[in-house]
Structures are given as structure tokens and as C-alpha cells.
Amino acid sequence: MPPTDRGLSLSSADTLDRPLPPERGALSDHGQRPPAPAAGPLLDNPADWGAADTPAGPFALVPVRPDRDLDRITGWMNDPAVAAFWELAGPPEITAAHLRGQLDGDGRSVPCLGVLAGVPMSYWEIYRADLDPLARHYPARPQDTGVHLLIGRAGDRGRGLGSTLLRATADLVLDHRPQCARVIAEPDVRNSASVAAFLSAGFRYADEIELPGKRAALMVRDRARRHLL
């Protein structure tokens, strides 16, 4: 399927400007803010989630390491089908800056490679939607978890694999984030293939919302209905 667009323009930088929840934003006894946690605690450590079984093989989310992954992700970002939605085409420095905004943050957004049957083939961002600028545009609930993705290889698009991986990723989130009741996504309403993939993955079309630069379909996968759809 065509890649899902990443959502809000400059989403990583804007997200990192928002305050943390009180328990992580509070000052220490010495009046200084404690150091930011390693990437992951706000999302219950995606690195520890392990693999999901899918009809296409085992699928795992592996947190990005720029020294290992930058060239691969840059190549994907320069695919015209990807660039049309992610708008990160160009030299590696552009992709590196996008990744750095997350990796140098507090862990509320974790960039990952999607590894299917041992092969890195997609890029994902798992993020706290309730702490993201997206929360200004829909009735957010505590611990809402958002997903952005792109399928990196052209041969993996348009054959239903995106729906399979979206379902697997939503299940990983719900299995490993017990306080999260919903997985959220916001593809452009014009991206009908992406919207269809989310519907096939058990998401519902909850609303249409105006975001900076686009009108988005608010897609929601509910924990309470995950076994029904």
C-alpha cells in the first residue's frame, strides 16, 4: 500500500515542545529537572516487545540506530511514492534531523524499523498521541498511542501487506501497553488506499479532522473491539 503520511508538519519538533505529564515533568528536590529518560519508557519500551506472528512471517519493531539505519531510511524517503506524503526527500541530513528530534527527546515518540521475517522493510513511529500536537485536534484520552508508517520497498506495497502489519503493530501496542485503550492514526483523507488499509486492519473511521496542511481521517483501533474487527 502507499505509505501512511506522517501527520502534522514538523511533528517531532512540535511534540517535543509540549510539557511532560506531571510525574515526569516535576522538578527534583534540588529544583532541577531530572534528566530525560532513555527512549521508550513513556511507551513501555518498544525495544522489549518482541515479535508478532503474522501470515507473512514474524514481525518486530526495532528502534532505529542512525549509525546502522540512516542510509536505508534516507533511501526510502527519496522514493517518490513515500516523499509525496512524508516530505523528507533529500540528503541524509534531512532524515537524520527528523530522527534526531525523536531520539534526543524524552521517549514520547520512538522511530523503529519494521523487520519482517528478518528483513527490514518498513519505517514506523510509535508515539504518545495524547502528548502530541494531534491531541489539540481530537478528543484525546490518556495513553492514546499513535502510529505513522511507510512501506519501504515498492514490491511490498499494494498487496495487502500494509493491513497485515498495521494489525500486528496495533496488537503489539495493546499487548504491551496495558494502560492504552486506543491506537490512533491520521492519514490524509485523500489517501484512500491508506484509509482502506487501516479499515482492513481493524481500525474504524472515527472522524475527519483539520490538521495543519491536510484534512485527516481519524482512524481508531479500540482495545474493547480488537477481537471483533
Report the alpha-carbon distance of residue 182 to residue 219 in Å, rounded: 10
Left (φ > 0), alpha (ψ -120 to 50) or beta: where does 129 sit? alpha
pLDDT of residue 92: 98
pLDDT of residue 227: 86
Q: List, for residues 2-58, the tens digit of each pLDDT value.
A: 445 443 322 333 333 444 444 333 333 333 433 334 446 899 999 999 999 999 999
Cβ contacts of 155-163, under 8 Å, gap ≥ 24: 156/121, 156/122, 157/1, 157/2, 157/3, 157/81, 158/1, 158/2, 158/193, 160/1, 160/197, 160/200, 161/1, 161/56, 162/1, 162/194, 162/197, 162/201, 163/1, 163/197, 163/198, 163/200, 163/201
pLDDT of residue 23: 36
- Mean pLDDT of each 10-residue bin along the chain, 229 residues long: 39 39 35 42 94 97 97 97 92 98 93 97 97 95 97 91 97 97 95 93 97 94 90
Beta-carbon contacts of residue 23 (< 8 Å; ≥ 6 apart): none
pLDDT of residue 33: 34
pLDDT of residue 85: 85
H or E element in which residue 102 lies: helix 92-103
pLDDT of residue 7: 37
At residue 138, the 3 state secondary structure works out as: coil
Report the alpha-carbon distance of residue 103 to residue 100 in Å, rounded: 5
Cα-only R_g, the chain: 17
